[in-house]
């Protein structure tokens, strides 16, 4: 089966400012999420695939058809993909039915059959067909926008931060409904988001982009549990990065003591990523390393705390709601389970599989 989307060596820039620096991505099927901090270039990638922006070099093919490459540029209107921009962008002067039917051939626009079918697919009541976009809630607008994109039966749908404008309560339900509709329509999708939780929960494949490059493209669990780069660990898992030394291939010491490693690493200087939920905080007198609670944010179901060690390192911890310490209290911190280490030795080693240059940089602990 041909991949829904195949991107090879894509570079895109504005004059004097490179944005994408060599992107490779294959979307075989299902939902792929491109996640990264704002300004990393993920929206530019989407707009380039959609055909609103011309690449400097590289190739793009959609469902086996080359749409951009050397001497080749298929205009956006002929790429045959669905596009759902931020906030949906429904046509305000058209009813829901006319919005959904917008991309259908002239003859099919009149019949409401396809529009009904699509509303059912995105789990909206048929009564909405005569309504206008201003009468819909944000979540409903987003679903209608997806129905409109799915109407011409595209092989691939591009969604640009589709849920960022929705209230937190609506976001999850709309996200699930959108993914379910994509699956039942048999379309592959590329979702751009800056929300790690959204990417991990909705996608089959997560591509982490930082500064115009993909640092890792793999399954949500892989990206979270086995980050390929310290930046992936700190962005996706809110991990604290600590300098340390790998004493053997399977253990390393750092300010939090000797820790077992989940992945073998060459002995020598390393960067250790400790995820917040791995950090246990005990009242003074238990196991672990001593520190002082610097600040606490209470969320209800749990709390996030920053603990300052004697050496000045700040460790992020997730604490169950029942045992939240106050700021200023002396505590002991302990790490549960194995941690991920990245070699920071100047020579590149086979085990770390880091992109060139990425491992040599020293990363500060995130608060």
Partner 1 sequence: MSLMPLGYVLVTTAQLGVGEAAAFLWRPRVGELLWNTVRLLVAGVTCCLLIGLAGAWVVERTDLRGRGWWHALMCAPLAVPAFVNGYGWVSTTHAVQSFSGAVMVTTLSYFPFVYLPTVAAMRRLDPAVEEVATSLGHGPWRVFWWVTLPAISPAVLGGALLVGLHLLAEYGALQLLNYPTLTTAILQQYATVFNGPAATLLALVLVLFCLLLLLVEHVLRGRRPLARVGSGTSRAAVRMPLGRHRHTVALGLGLLAVWSLAVPLVSLVRWLVKGTSAGIDVAELSGAIGTTLGLGAAGGLLATVTAVPVVWLAVRHRSALSTFVERSVYTASAMPGIVIGLALVTISIRVVPSLYQTVVVLLVGYTVLFLPRAVVSLRGTVELIPASLDDVARSLGCRGSEVMRRVTLPLALPGLAAATALVALAVSTELTATLLLAPTGTDTLATKFWSEASSVAYGAAAPYALALVILSVPATWLLGRLSTPGDRIEGAR
Q: Residue 18 or residue 85: which is nearer to partner 1 going by CB? A: 85
Q: Which of residues 123-142 bind partner 1 (CB under 8 A)?
A: 133-134, 138, 141
Query: Across the chain, how many H-helices and E-strands are there?
Result: 9, 21
CA 15 to chain centre: 27
Segment near partner 1 (CB under 8 A); pick from 32-40, 44-52, 169-177, 227-235? 44-52
Q: Which residues contact 185 (CB under 8 A, 6 or more apart)?
A: 121, 150, 153
| Residue 106 binds to partner 1 (criterion: CB under 8 A) | no
Q: Report the alpha-carbon distance of residue 33 to residue 185 in Å, rounded.
A: 18
| Nearest CA among 134, 135, 157, 160 for reference residue 147 | 157
Residues linked to residue 330 through DSSP beta bridges, in sequence order = 292
175: how many CB neighbours lie within 10 A of its CB? 23
* Residue window 164-203: x/- pattern of binding to partner 1, with contact defined by CB under 8 A: -x--------------------------------------
Query: Residue from 5, 7, 122, 149 that binds partner 1 (CB under 8 A)?
Result: 149
Sheet containing 188-193: give its strands across: 82-84, 156-160, 188-193, 31-35, 205-210, 213-218
Q: Residue 193 or residue 352: which is nearer to partner 1 going by CB? A: 193
Q: Which of residues 46-105 bind partner 1 (CB under 8 A)?
A: 47, 50-52, 75-83, 85-93, 102-103
- Give how far Cα 242 sits from Cα of 246, 253, 287, 364, Å: 12, 10, 20, 7
State in angstroms the smallest separation of the CB of 184 from partner 1.
Answer: 20
Segment near partner 1 (CB under 8 A); pick from 11-19, 117-125, 143-151, 222-230? 143-151
Q: Residue 52 or residue 298: which is nearer to partner 1 going by CB? A: 52
Q: Which residues contact 67 (CB under 8 A, 6 or more apart)?
A: 51, 60, 61, 73, 74, 79
State in angstroms the smallest separation of the CB of 153 from partner 1.
Answer: 12
Residue 64 class from Cβ within 10 Å (0-12 exposed, 13-18 middle, 19+ buried)?
Answer: exposed
Whether the Cβ atoms of residue 166 and residue 139 lie closer than 8 Å to each other: yes
Q: Residue 66 or residue 353: which is nearer to partner 1 going by CB? A: 66
Binding-site size for partner 1 (CB under 8 A) equals 33
Segment near partner 1 (CB under 8 A); pick from 148-156, 224-232, 262-270, 314-322? 148-156
Give the footprint of partner 1 on this chain (CB under 8 A): 47, 50-52, 75-83, 85-93, 102-103, 133-134, 138, 141, 145, 148-149, 152, 165
């Amino acid at each position: 089966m041909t991949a829904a989307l195949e991107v090879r060596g894509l570079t895109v820039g504005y004059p004097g400012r490179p944005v994408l620096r060599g992107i490779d991505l294959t979307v075989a099927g299902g939902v792929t999420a491109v996640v990264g901090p704002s300004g990393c270039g993920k929206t530019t990638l989407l707009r380039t695939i959609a055909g609103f922006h011309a690449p400097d070099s590289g190739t793009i093919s959609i469902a086996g058809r080359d749409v951009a490459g050397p001497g080749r540029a298929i205009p956006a209107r002929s790429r045959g993909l669905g596009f759902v921009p931020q906030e949906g962008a429904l046509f305000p002067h058209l009813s829901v039915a006319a919005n959904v039917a917008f991309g259908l051939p002239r003859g099919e626009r009149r019949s409401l059959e396809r529009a009904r079918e699509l509303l059912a697919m995105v789990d909206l009541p048929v009564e909405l067909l005569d309504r206008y976009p201003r009468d819909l809630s944000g979540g409903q607008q987003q679903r209608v926008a997806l129905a409109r994109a799915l109407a011409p039966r595209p092989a691939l749908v591009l969604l640009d931060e589709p849920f960022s404008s929705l209230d937190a309560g609506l976001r999850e339900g709309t996200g699930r409904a959108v993914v379910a509709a994509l699956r039942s329509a048999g379309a592959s999708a590329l979702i751009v988001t800056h929300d790690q939780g959204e990417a991990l929960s909705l996608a089959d494949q997560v591509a982490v982009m930082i500064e115009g490059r993909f640092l890792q493209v793999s399954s949500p669990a892989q990206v979270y549990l086995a980050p390929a780069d310290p930046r992936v660990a700190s962005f996706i898992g809110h991990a604290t990065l600590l300098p340390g030394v790998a004493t053997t291939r399977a253990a390393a010491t750092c300010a939090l003591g000797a820790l077992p490693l989940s992945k073998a690493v060459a002995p020598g200087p390393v960067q250790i990523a400790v995820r917040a939920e791995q950090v246990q905080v005990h009242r003074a007198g238990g196991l672990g390393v001593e520190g002082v609670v610097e600040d606490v944010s209470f969320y209800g179901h749990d709390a996030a705390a920053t603990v300052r060690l004697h050496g000045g390192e700040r460790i992020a911890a997730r604490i169950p709601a029942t045992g939240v310490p106050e700021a200023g209290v002396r505590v002991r911190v302990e790490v549960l389970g194995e941690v991920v280490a990245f070699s920071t030795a100047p020579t590149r080693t086979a085990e770390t599989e880091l992109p060139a240059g990425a491992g040599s940089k020293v990363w500060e602990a995130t608060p």
